[in-house]
Amino acid sequence: MRARVNVLFLLAVLFVFAGLENDAHSGLIMEQVGYQQGSNDKQKVTIYIQGDKFKQVENGGPFSPAVIFDLNSGDIMFVNDEKKLYIILNREEYLKYIESVISENKDVSTASRNITLKKTDETAAIAGYSARKYEIFDNDKLQSEYWVSSDAGFSEELDMNKMSKLMNEVKRISQNVGGSASISDNEYKIFQEIYEDGYPMKTVYHSPDGDKVFVEEIVTVKKQDIPPSEFQPPAGYEKITYQDILKQQ
């Protein structure tokens, strides 16, 4: 199950941008927690959004890995604080990376899927913003819940159109490779519809057997200007290349 969640996380990072448009103003800093329902062990993540750039930092463990998306250049930067390294991947290299991760999970069952979306009337206040509950079903079985808000001002910072091509390419790769991350045209349209309506303040994933529930929830949203250095390589870190990674495999 953990492998499935990790693969879906890579794709979810991309889908995040589907509901975000352009016209930059002050930045957004969000705190997110992820946990298995019933567990006190929570993974904390800080998210920075400003001017067509998106940074996500895991706050826990011996180091805090970060990923930075630059929608203007199309580059994605990964930062390893433990080893003081960073790598910048272009669009092609990043898609190859996603393909390799999905390929490692091809042993997961690929049963036929029938994905449907239900927009409920249920609402809740999450991190101070009103959010509406959307439910995604797989063969009539609840797969995930998205609590979506259009109130927090995400559309002022990022351009959805710059991400559309990348999302389509990721979708095609996941379909060709197969595995648990395979996405149908219908499922892609559902995700697009969700993010056009707003940003997921809370996402609840149900395991196929129904015995585990994983939650990702935004707990705070702060609007403020973010210094450009937040989206740049940390001073003193060594840059490695995609070829360096291939040599180690």
What is residue 34's predicted lDDT score, i.e. its pLDDT?
94
Instruction: Supply the mean pLDDT for the chain.
Output: 78
Q: What is the pLDDT of residue 179?
A: 45
SS3 23: coil
**DSSP assignment, residue 40?**
S
Identify the band that residue 33 occupies on the pLDDT scale cut at 50, 70 and 90.
very high
Four-CA torsion 33, 158, 234, 58, nearest 10 degrees? 10
The Cα-based distances of 36 to 12, 145, 214, 215, 249 in angstroms read: 18, 14, 4, 6, 32
Q: What is the mean pLDDT of residues 126-143?
A: 94
Q: How far is CA 245 from the centre of its chain?
A: 23
> What would the two tokens of residue 24 be?
């930059």
Q: How far is CA 27 from CA 19, 102, 158, 228, in A?
A: 16, 33, 10, 11
Q: How many secondary structure helices (H) and strands (E) does the chain include?
A: 5, 12
User: Is there a contact between 25 and 36 (Cβ–Cβ < 8 Å)?
Assistant: no
| pLDDT tens-place string over residues 144-173 | 999 999 876 666 776 655 554 555 565 555
Distance CA 233, CA 249 (A): 24
User: Which residue would you say has higher pLDDT here, 47 or 99?
Assistant: 47
Q: Which CATH number characterizes residue 226's domain?
A: 2.50.20.10
**98-118 residue pLDDT tens:** 777 666 665 555 566 788 999
Provide the domain limits for residue 28: 2-248
In angstroms, rounded to a whole number, what is the distance separating the alpha carbons of residues 104 and 72? 30
State the pLDDT confidence band at 141, using cuts at 50, 70 and 90. Answer: very high
Per the structure block, which two tokens stand in for 60?
């826990």
Confidence band of 29 (pLDDT split at 50, 70, 90) = very high
The tokens of 78 are what? 């990964």
Going by C-alpha positions, the residue among 92, 206, 87 that lies closest to residue 139 is 206
Q: Which one, of 183, 205, 216, lies nearest residue 98 by Cα?
A: 183
* Helix 91-103 vs helix 161-177: crossing angle, to nearest 10: 30
Q: How do residues 78-99 score in pLDDT, each as one tens digit?
A: 998 888 999 998 878 877 777 7
Say whether pLDDT at 207 is over 60.
Answer: yes
Percent above pLDDT 90 for the chain: 37
Q: What is the pLDDT of residue 206?
A: 94
Structurally, how many domains does the chain consist of?
Answer: 1
Cα separation, 47 vs 91, whole angstroms = 21
